[in-house]
Structure 1
Amino acid sequence: MVSKIIKKTPTKTIKNNRRQQRRKKTPVKNASTAASLVAASINKSFCTCHRRLIKIFSKLARIATPKKKSPRKQGYQLLHKASEETRSGVVKALFDDNGVSVPLPPLVSSKKGTVFLDLDETLVHSKPSIPPEKYDFVIKPVIDGQKVEFFVLKRPFVGELLESLSKNFEIVVFTAGIEVYASQVLDRIDQKGLISHRLYRDSCKEVDGRFVKDLSDLGRDLKRVVIVDDNPNSYSFQPENAIPIPPFVDDLGDEELKKLIQFFDQFDEIEDMRDVVKSYASQFSQGPENLEL
């Protein structure tokens, strides 16, 4: 009996030692599991934020009218008038319930001409989120439920252009930008209320994924209409009414709007504004440096 007890004692001691070792390892195992859960949670939050940022910036990328190629590299060319067949195939954005475009209110004076001005890269340049070196003001529209900061730089002479045009012309800003963004920009650059009407993306027509500004449905005589835009796609329906302008980014020495002021000063007794516009656009197609005012 004594010998049996002696033989069993070491075995029991070994089992107890093993249990104690397992107990010591348990906290380490739990800590490792907790760390994995925390890492997984952080990774999930990061992915969620990443998807939201992609959604916001993909929306911002569609604010302005898309361009085929950079006009800085290619230069501008006079466009041929779009065919009636092409016009009938466009997708209308926001018109009345019957699909008919709604014209602008009648002009106070039939002798007045109308100047349609583009906004982005024509009157201003704006950049979202990251502040550039130069900007005049900040707007914070809510896009897709997210408040986004835009840092806006005004093109030199934009105030002077509006003042000058308002004396003899009806001013209409026609932008392919969305209203929630563009309206805030216009509130800041036109605090005197010199702009008669504002037209946004929902007044454009969409052709092959590009936003076109059709001037024929707005209740204005095309003989008395001019559109100023940096994007040739925008005026492809009425290229004969268009004054092309180089896109503006951040050159504070830019004088393109100053040239426009001088150009429009000669519109006193002109029956068809397209005749003068044609001359201006022809010079521009050879290069902006060849313009004669």
Structure 2
Amino acid sequence: MVSRTPTKPPPSPRPGASGCVTPSKPKPSPVARRRQALRRWSATKRRGSPLKSLASAPAAAAATFNRSLRSCRRRLLKLFARLAVLGSPRKRRAAAAGFQRLRSSSPPPPPPPPQHPPVRAQSAALPLPPSPGRRTLFLDLDETLIHSQTDPPPARFDFTVRPVIGGQAITFYVSKRPGVEAFLRAAADSFEVVVFTAGLQEYASLVLDRLDPDGTVFAHRLYRGACRNAGDGRLVKDLAATGRALDLAVIVDDNPNAYALQPENAVPVAPFVDDDNDQELQRVLAFLDVAAGFDDTREAIRYYKDLITAS
């Protein structure tokens, strides 16, 4: 027999009961999704986008620069205010006194040495000779009686001198020409010996002191200041300016420019550097013995030069 009792619907699940399935939320409609997207875009715009932040960076930098400029202006105003106070007479005197104390406490810097040492002018005029009619022998120094050089030192030299030239001490290594001592002693017996050099006095005087330590050979010393400037850098030794008679004068020099004004009074010699077998001074001494027999030394020189040319 079939029951006619209607079938009961299944009981609805209780909330929180285990094993129950939670029904899923219904999907939003397209209109709802558009509204949510619009709300998110509005919130992002209010916060500020990265592009907007980058666009506002120059304005921030300009504001920082303006603040720095205003601060610099305030500092300059304070500085000018202090200078205005120092500009008063009393403040100026105080500042000057402080400067004087500062300047006196620190020694002044030494003056720089001159690039070219000044040449002291020297008159070529000599005192009257002690014996009237005595012949005068003018001798050059460098490359005639000696040879000298600065560093590096040569392999052989006889002595050194250290003059101060232009504020600086310089060492010269000096080599004597072979036979120079005997030549000077023999020449001083018959002639008034005068050194006439284009070298600086600071240097040449020290060398001459070594060649004539007793002061018995050189009657007078003439240095660069007694030379005449030819205008092109050449230094000329004018024998006529010395006050000696040209017919009683002889000059021995290795440089033809030196005796350009009186070549007839010159006995040329070869320049000396370092030849240990050099015989130039012995040859000049032989000429001096011959010249003693002539009334005019220029005739003796002319005769001597003719002999050299013929040989």
Short-chain TM bin: 0.5 to 0.7
> Where do 1:180-219 residues align within 5 Å?
180-193=202-215, 194-207=217-230, 208-219=232-243
Aligned residue for 2:241, secondary structure, equals coil
5+ unaligned residues in a row in structure 1: which ranges?
A: 1-51, 64-92, 96-100
Does residue 145 of the first structure (1) align with residue 172 of the second (2)? no
| CA distance, structure 1, for counterparts of residue 171 and residue 259 of structure 2 | 29
- Which residue in 2 is equivalent to 1:31? none
Over 3 Å counting, the alpha-carbon distance change for 1:239 and 1:105 in structure 2 is: same
Compute the TM-score of the two structures, normalised by the length of structure 2: 0.60
Give the counterpart letter for 2:298 in structure 1. Answer: R
Of 263, 283, 297, 1:273 maps to 297
- Give the aligned length: 198
**What's the RMSD between the two structures over aligned residues?**
2.4
- Which residue in 1 is equivalent to 2:185? 163
| CA distance, structure 2, for counterparts of residue 250 and residue 203 of structure 1 | 28
> Where do 1:67-78 residues align within 5 Å?
none
Q: Where does structure 1 differ by over 3 angstroms across 4 or more consecutive aligned residues? A: 281-284
- Which residue in 2 is equivalent to 1:87? none
| CA distance, structure 2, for counterparts of residue 269 and residue 131 of structure 1 | 44
> Where do 1:114-125 residues align within 5 Å?
114-125=136-147
Max Rg structure: 2
Q: Deviations over 1:83-140 (max 9, x none)?
A: xxxxxxxxxx725xxxxx5520111111210000000000000011211001000000
- Which residue in 1 is equivalent to 2:9? none
- Which residue in 1 is equivalent to 2:274? 250
> Where do 1:170-185 residues align within 5 Å?
170-185=192-207
Cα pair 1:124 1:155 within 8 Å, conserved? yes
Q: CA deviation at 1:282?
A: 4.2
Q: Deviations over 1:231-252 (max 9, x none)?
A: 0000000000000100000001
Give the counterpart letter for 1:199 in structure 2. Answer: L
Q: CA deviation at 1:146?
A: 0.8
Q: Deviations over 1:69-93 (max 9, x none)?
A: xxxxxxxxxxxxxxxxxxxxxxxx7
Cα pair 1:157 1:258 within 8 Å, conserved? yes
| CA distance, structure 1, for counterparts of residue 135 and residue 240 of structure 2 | 14
Of 117, 121, 125, 1:94 maps to 121
Q: Deviations over 1:192-224 (max 9, x none)?
A: 321100000000000121100000011111000
| CA distance, structure 1, for counterparts of residue 175 and residue 211 of structure 2 | 10
Q: CA deviation at 1:283?
A: 4.8
Cα pair 2:124 2:226 within 8 Å, conserved? no
Query: Which structure's relative contact order is higher, taking Cα pairs within 8 Å and 6+ residues apart?
Result: 1
Provide the identity percentage: 47
| CA distance, structure 2, for counterparts of residue 102 and residue 137 of structure 1 | 29
Give the counterpart letter for 1:187 in structure 2. Answer: D
Give the counterpart letter for 2:235 in structure 1. Answer: F
Q: CA deviation at 1:268?
A: 2.9
Compute the TM-score of the two structures, normalised by the length of structure 1: 0.63
Give the counterpart letter for 1:114 in structure 2. Answer: T
Give the counterpart letter for 1:243 in structure 2. Answer: V
